[in-house]
Amino acid sequence: MSVCINKTIISKTVRLISSDSKNLGLMSTTKALDMAMDEGLDLVQISDGDEPTCKILDYQKHVYEQKKLKKKNKKNTVENKELQFRPNTDVNDIERLIKKAQKFIDAGNNVKFIVRFKGREVTFNDNVIASFDKITKSLVLPKLYKISNDVTVKGNRMGLYVTRG
């Protein structure tokens, strides 16, 4: 629905809501428009029908508040970040991934460490368990973060899920 404002409202009569949210009942569109102009505000159609409902408000302010609310709701969403490495990844690279995970978690995101295996690497997972131990010791021991689930294995992947504590 496109928003009808002021003189773009086609209906002859409208159900009017005042700027302080009081129902003023049915009246002609011209009278409602005059009331809105007297207050220095806009007449905005908020619903369709035989007798459309219109409200007296500052349209630009209304649009600004809607954008602000949408931006706030978008900001509150939590993203899941994935950090992948292989079983033979060096200790320094694991430490770099841990620092990256700390930045993601501090920003409000959840982090999932994923180890991808190729071929027979699945059978030699001692390095992976040592890597996950290092991750848990460096992230969980300071009590800032917590592990949501234990280590999960799905096919050729092994994962560890870390969130804010």
User: pLDDT of 67-107, one tens digit each?
Assistant: 998 888 876 677 889 999 888 888 888 889 888 988 888 88
pLDDT tens-digit map of 122-134: 777 777 878 888 8
SS (H, E, C) the chain: CCCCEHHHCCCCEEEEECCCCCEEEEEEHHHHHHHHHHHCCEEEEEECCCCCEEEEECHHHHHHHHHHHHHHHHHCCCCEEEEEECCCCCHHHHHHHHHHHHHHHHCCCEEEEEEECCHHHHHCCHHHHHHHHHHHHHHCCCCCEEEEEEEEEECCEEEEEEEEC
Q: Which CATH number describes the domain made up of 80-164? A: 3.30.110.10
Residue 143: the pLDDT is 66
Which architecture, in CATH terms, is 6-73?
Roll (3.10)
Task: Write down the domain spans for the chain.
Answer: 6-73, 80-164
Q: Is the pTM of this model over 0.75?
A: no
Tell me what the mean pLDDT of segment 107-121 comes to.
Answer: 86
